[in-house]
Structure 1
Amino acid sequence: MGNKITVEVTVYAAIEKVWKYWNEPAHIMKWCQASPEWHVPAAQNDLKAGGTFTTTMAAKDGSMSFDFGGVYDQVKTNDLIEYTIGDGRKVRIVFTHTGDTTNIVESFDPEETNPRELQQSGWQAILNSFKSYTENN
């Protein structure tokens, strides 16, 4: 599983709002998709070391769906989330905040099926969706 892939975004919102929207299932269901053709009909999140999460991602036309989930390895409120996806890959998310601006850097182990560029663009699209949702709600 070669070098990590990194995506990044700056959200014009205070860390308290960013943290809440990133982690509460009701909000996750509003932003966690890479394109308008997809949605999240279900999300569960037990945000603590050893806690688990599951996000169901589904095509709106009903043609496809899958669960994305894992176990939290480390959680530092408003600063850091590290988790292991169900297939063993690691993800690290760093939140850097100053006033009403929060920078999010997400690094993850690539999977072996899809090209790196596709994985990076998909994760970046989800991050961009988060930025848009958080800044506009």
Structure 2
Amino acid sequence: MSTRKITIDALIDAPVESVWKDYTTPADITQWNFASDDWCCPSAEVDLRVGGGYRARMEARDGSFGFDLEAVYEEVEPHNALTMVMSDGRRARTTFESAGGKTHVTTTFDAEDQNAIDMQRDGWQAILNNFKRHVEAKPGRS
């Protein structure tokens, strides 16, 4: 397994409490957890505690391909940080930093060995950008 780490980030125009909620609530996860419009996330499960499980179903909208992303939470610090260990042993740590009414979200994850680093970075960044759009589009937010 690769020991390379990849970091992505976004500045979201919403308070950290709202960003945290939208990042960890299954009904919200299904609205943003995909990299492009030809994919979807039809289901998500979250047991938000150390040792709790995370599962998100990712599918091509045309039904041609799908997979489950499964992980166990290793760190849960509400409104601050989450670390997940994916089923293949790779880790992903996401931090939430309040920045004057906005929230800076940063994810650092272990690269996998099957796809190019740039492809992995671009895919994860696209999902985070989709998350940003989802949060900011909610009523009462900028």
Using the size of structure 1 for normalisation, the TM-score is 0.98
Contiguous gaps of at least 5 residues in structure 2: none
Structure 1 equivalent of residue 93 of structure 2 = 92
- Name the counterpart of 1:102: 103
Counterpart residue identity of residue 52, structure 1: G
Alignment of 1:18-33 (within 5 A): 18-33=19-34
Partner of 1:51: 52
Task: Give the Å deviation of 1:86.
Answer: 0.4
Query: 2:123 corresponds to which residue?
Result: 122
Residue 3 of structure 1: how far off its partner (Å): 2.0
> Deviation digits for residues 89-121 of structure 1, max 9, x if unmatched?
011111101342000110000000000000000
Query: Partner letter of residue 10 of structure 1?
Result: L
Runs of 4+ with deviation above 3 angstroms = none
The letter of the residue matching 2:88 is: D
The TM-score, its normalising length taken from structure 2, stands at 0.95
CA distance in structure 1 between the partners assigned to 2:18 and 2:106 by the alignment: 17
Deviation at 1:8, TM superposition (A): 0.5
Q: Residue 127 of structure 1: SS of its match in structure 2?
A: helix
Paired letter, 2:52: G
Specify the code of the residue in structure 2 equivalent to 1:17.
S
Q: How far, CA to CA, are the matches of 1:64 and 1:99 in structure 2?
A: 41
* C-alpha separation in 2, matches of 1:69 and 1:10: 26
Other-structure match for 2:63: 62
Find the counterpart in structure 2 of residue 40 from structure 1.
41
How many residues are treated as equivalent by the alignment?
Answer: 137
- Secondary structure at the aligned position of 1:87 is classed as coil
Instruction: Give the Cα–Cα distance (whole angstroms) in 1 for the partners of residues 134 and 91 of structure 2.
Output: 25
Q: CA deviation at 1:68?
A: 0.5
Q: Over aligned residue pairs, what C-alpha RMSD do you find?
A: 0.7
What is the CA–CA distance in structure 1 between the aligned matches of 2:5 and 2:60, rounded to whole Å? 27
Matched to 2:83, the amino acid is E
Between stretches 51-60 and 98-107, larger displacement belongs to 98-107
Q: Which amino acid aligns with 2:112?
A: E
